[in-house]
A and B are shown apart, each in its own frame.
Chain A
Amino acid sequence: MEDRQALLAENIVKRFPGVVAVNNVTFELRYGEIHGLLGQNGAGKSTLLRVIYGVHKPDHGNIYIDGRKIVLKSPRDARMHGIALVHQEITVIPDLTVLENIALLGFSWNWLTSRFDYASFKEYIDRIMSRFRVELELSEKVRNLSAAERMLLQVVAALSINAKILLLDEPTSPLSLHEIERLFDVLNQLRKEGLATVFVTHRVNEAIDVCDRITILRNGEKIATVESRAIDVHTLIKLMLGREPEELYKVRTDKDVELVIGRYATEIPLIEMRNVSTQPQRAAEMPLKKINLKIYEGEVVAVFGFVGAGKTELGKALIGLTKISHGDFLYMGKRVKIKSPVDAVRYGIFYLPEDRKIEGIIPHFTVASNMDISSLNIVKRFGIFVDGARELRISLDMIKRLNIVTSSPYARITQLSGGNQQKVLVARAMLTKARLVIFDEPTVGIDVATKAEIRRLIFRYARERGVSSLVLTSDVDEALGLADRIYVMRDGEIIREYINRNVDRDEILKNLA
């Protein structure tokens, strides 16, 4: 491992109206290291990376590369200095091939003067991929790629412009376990080749496993940089929170399950699917095969499966967005047809999408209006008017209950950090007068403490108000910590069902091995 300093961001301050997002942070990155950047939602991780990538101009502070001071006016400048940012929200063009997307993202030739030589570019990329042990089919359309492959595509694009410093903002959030391993193999290879990598994650174990050093941010300030060999999960979480963490995983006890078990034999489920199959309408859609599923009133049910198992398709089938070709959909024991989200709302079924940016947030709206868009019927006055005072009261209450970091309920949602946007969407779901709320990956991209908080809220909300919750998750601990019953899903099929009492974590995982 080299020890030479790659980058030094010195006394960086970045303010936004109402918040100091990054407050006097000094961050050092060395060649040949993977440097973890951890902190709660809104701690300033993404902002720090964006400053280093030239997206935001810092209000104060300097950036040095290889000991030389540089001024970054734009991401273009940053790339010329060998810095590349990789994150989920970078757009790839689905109808182009992997190679074409790499060429576009890399943007490494002059459009006007040089001819794009397909064959030699392919050879060049092939060389890079074998050097860093990346496996990607270059002629595949990006539309058919998994989330992990898209991430790798961005890494290759960065390498194609000879980036020496890679900034990865939550690369593992949308990935399944073995996809994460695949990404880590590549990261380890990058480390061997002497590249410097910054790695943002909310998964503390993961950070300790792969990172050499870890920097912790809290409320925009740097708390510490530690050697990951010398730290344990508990201490790390304590540093992130600034206090002793509460119970993080179990939000319910086995006794809670006893209360519902008695009902399974006698009661009619709120929702039931009998032998439901679907025909995919789009290429990337996983067809559902003979799904049998029951959800009782006030029960928390988890569907656990890896990314791509068909959980989202199942969620969307429940609100009429995936067309059911065979089988029955029963509501309180009666056959019904739900053809659209509007129908679903009529039956009190609400779906909270997993893709926050495309299907979730309304970017021009404030935090408050994003929360109550699906529950304006309880915020209105005289039939059609939005009651501003009521809206303010409700949103303030939700901001407090979900611990949302925002300068005001009237801040634009796009000004919130990723995790806080997700919390606003969870608030949206909780505000509806639904009888069943489907949470699709509700805690992806959310910090450990808030994760527990949200799970607790989902659970309490189900028990106290009798609202059923269906949690679609790829996190086995989420399923185990939260649900009364767990369905395990793979390749569009439900392969096991567990009543969540004395269930063994490894036994559940074995189903998917």
Chain B
Amino acid sequence: MALKSSINSALAKFKHFYSSYELSRALVPLIVLIIASIAMSPQYFLNPMNIKVVLMQITPLALIATGEMPIILMGSIDLSPGSAQAATAMIAAILTRTTNNILLAIMAAVALGTLIGVINGVLVAKLRIYSFVATLAALVIWRSFVIIVSGGKLIYGLTQYAMFTQDFGTYIPIGFVLTVFIIIVVYVLLTRTVIGRYIYGLGSNEEAVRLAGVRADFVKFLAFTIAGTLYGLGGVMLIAMGGFAVDPWTARGNELNAIASCVLGGIMLTGGSGHPLGSLLGASMLTILTNILVLLGVTEIAVQQTVVGIVLIAAATALTRGLRYVK
């Protein structure tokens, strides 16, 4: 009896914790996933090499998901991260090839990413095109850009980018550490600054925020621009973590992975709600999930995608439970 009541009270406490901290929406399932994968095969999952591989896979995805996140928090959507990542990676690859100057290549990639974000921002904030439509156009256009500048050819052997996979014996690649650092900056931006306040506010009630005299269009523009910069970094990390090669169809479909990461990370697609570390946690979940599937011998991409889809539906259901309505 005493045991039962203490279990009940522990459960009640957990429920309270779970519902009062936005982060727990993502943290709890992530921990469950990690425990599950360790339980399945400790020697495989706890193998440092596997840990390093997982961290490498998380890195580019976490970057684009973190770019996408403020946009979703604003109540908009960005469909361009996949193509933006490809375009920036391709530019970096070409410049690395032609000039052999990796710093220049990286700067160019980040600059191009930022430019893509600026254009998205102008289309949405200034020309008032629905973000879905504006960035759908960006998705198509920037993919065509990649195909044109690459001449349809694969660029490989970009081993200079191996520096991002170095781990100095810790099995934590430098690129991942850098990414976490950038995510912390975004975290501070979203939680501590005026811009972050406005971003959440726009997602919650844009009309009210505009009437309060906030320069809403500028905030939107800024969010898209920052996202573009992060996509550029995501492009660079794609080369580093993805076998030092870029092909014209690289990162295809990554816009959906970015959005899925946000959803898994507890970012509400209706805007205004979600913890700023959600993108990182969601990207981790998505990656670990694929990792488990590989371990289970599910190598067929189609089957993997199906499982991911089902998990996404489950996550989205948990997220919107108790809401009166969603769009």
Contacts and interface: CB of A to CB of B under 8 A. Distances in A.
Contacts of B194: 376-377, 380, 384-386
Contacts of A361: 205, 208
Nearest to B193: A384
Contact of B214 (A374, A384, A386): A374
Interface stretch (B80-88, B195-203, B310-318): B195-203
A65 to B, nearest CB: 26
A280 interface: no
A385 to B, nearest CB: 5
A341 B194 CA distance: 18
Contacts of B204: 362-365
Contacts of B211: 319, 341, 351, 353, 359-360
A374 B213 contact: yes
Interface string B9-50: 000000000000000000000000000000000000000000
B117 interface: no
B53 interface: no
Interface in B278-316: none
A430 to B, nearest CB: 13
Contacts of A360: 208, 211
Contacts of B209: 362, 373
A196 interface: no
Interface in A342-374: 342, 344-345, 350-351, 353, 358-365, 369, 373-374
A384 B195 contact: yes
A358 B195 contact: no
Interface in A363-401: 363-365, 369, 373-374, 376-377, 380, 384-386
Contact of A385 (B193, B203, B210, B215): B193
Given A341-B211, A345-B213, A361-B208, A376 B197 contact: yes
B272 interface: yes
Nearest to B203: A364
Nearest to B188: A385
A386 B192 contact: yes
Contacts of B212: 341, 373-374, 428
Interface residues of B, number: 22
Given A341-B213, A345-B213, A359 B208 contact: yes
A428 B209 CA distance: 12
B207 interface: yes
A344 B194 CA distance: 20
B273 interface: yes
Contacts, number: 67
Interface string B54-72: 0000000000000000000
Contacts of B213: 341-342, 344-345, 350, 374, 432
A362 B210 contact: no
A365 B193 contact: no
Nearest to B210: A341
Contact of A364 (B192, B195, B196, B272): B272
A69 B203 CA distance: 44
Query: Which of B193, B197, B215, B272: most chain A Cβ within 10 A?
Result: B197
Contacts of A364: 200, 203-204, 272-273
B205 A363 contact: yes
A353 B209 CA distance: 11
Contacts of A358: 207
A465 B191 CA distance: 33
B208 A342 contact: no
A386 B273 CA distance: 18
Interface string A470-504: 00000000000000000000000000000000000
A201 to B, nearest CB: 26
Contact of B193 (A363, A377, A386): A386
A438 to B, nearest CB: 11
Interface string A401-443: 0000000000000000000000000001000100000000000
B207 A363 contact: no
Interface in B247-272: 272
B319 to A, nearest CB: 14
Contact of B201 (A350, A373, A385): A373
A212 B213 CA distance: 47
Interface in A311-340: 319
B259 to A, nearest CB: 20
Contacts of B207: 358-359
23 contacts: A341-B211, A342-B213, A342-B215, A351-B211, A353-B208, A361-B208, A362-B204, A362-B205, A362-B208, A362-B209, A363-B204, A363-B272, A365-B200, A373-B197, A373-B212, A376-B194, A384-B194, A386-B192, A386-B193, A386-B194, A386-B197, A428-B212, A432-B213
Interface of B: 192-197, 200-201, 203-205, 207-215, 272-273
